[in-house]
Chains A and B, each alone.
Chain A
Amino acid sequence: EVQLVQSGAEVKKPGESLKISCKGSGYRFTSYWIGWVRQMPGKGLEWMGIIYPGDSDTRYSPSFQGQVTISVDKSINTAHLQWSSLKASDTAMYYCTRGEYYLNYWGQGTLVTVSS
């Protein structure tokens, strides 16, 4: 069974750094693109970017380029989304997804709250 299991909820202060994770199982991790989708409170879905674990090829949405970093550790079948300096506007639910174009598997979501 394909599963994407994300790390737990985080509460951070503005300016802090953060790295959240998404562990894939039940399939060949290096053969499928893993991406991230943001959902701000009460709002819609926004695609942030994707990475191919096989060679770490990464593509970002222009809206998120330079704001976040997507990486992967294929030795532990895990993708990461990280921020170097969080802002209050980063408060959102973040979902990891599997799929290069349409997203057929989703993680359970990681809620990130940024508040002073």
Chain B
Amino acid sequence: IQLTQSPSSLSASVGDRVTITCRASQGITSYLAWYQQKPGKAPKLLIYATSTLQSGVSSRFSGSGSGTYFTLTISSLQPEDFATYYCQQHNSYPLTFGQGTRLEIK
């Protein structure tokens, strides 16, 4: 299952609301996760099953979608949110990731 994220990169300001999209090549019901990766660090799970927030993750992050179209929204960007974001389908093996969206400070 191929996942395509858009945009590939995004410039935004602190306080902005941003949305990243992930499209699957076939239906994955609601089995989609989102990760955040900062330079030189391991990825961190933010959301799984489309909209379930991982413990300890800020409520600024939210996810929605189903089938083949999913979104990650950050409601009010904070300085620590500038990173690369990946979607990952957990509907079937092999697990696959999107190519990533780099979120930069404007």
Contacts and interface: CB of A to CB of B under 8 A. Distances in A.
Interface of A: 37, 44-47, 49, 59-63, 95, 101-104, 106-109
A97 to B, nearest CB: 9
Contacts of B48: 101-102, 104
A102 B94 contact: no
Given A44-B97, A45-B97, A101-B95, A106 B44 contact: yes
Interface in B41-70: 42-45, 48-49, 54
B2 to A, nearest CB: 12
Contacts of B43: 37, 45, 95, 103, 106
Contacts of A61: 93-95
Contact of A102 (B37, B42, B45, B93): B45
Nearest to B48: A102
Interface in B11-29: none
Interface of B: 31, 33, 35, 37, 42-45, 48-49, 54, 86, 88, 90, 93-100
A109 B42 contact: yes
A87 B66 CA distance: 40
Question: Chain B contact residues: over half helix, strand or loop, or mixed?
Answer: loop
A44 B88 contact: no
A59 B94 CA distance: 8
B97 A102 contact: no
Contacts of B35: 45, 103
A85 to B, nearest CB: 23
Contact of B31 (A59, A62, A101, A106): A101
A107 B90 contact: no
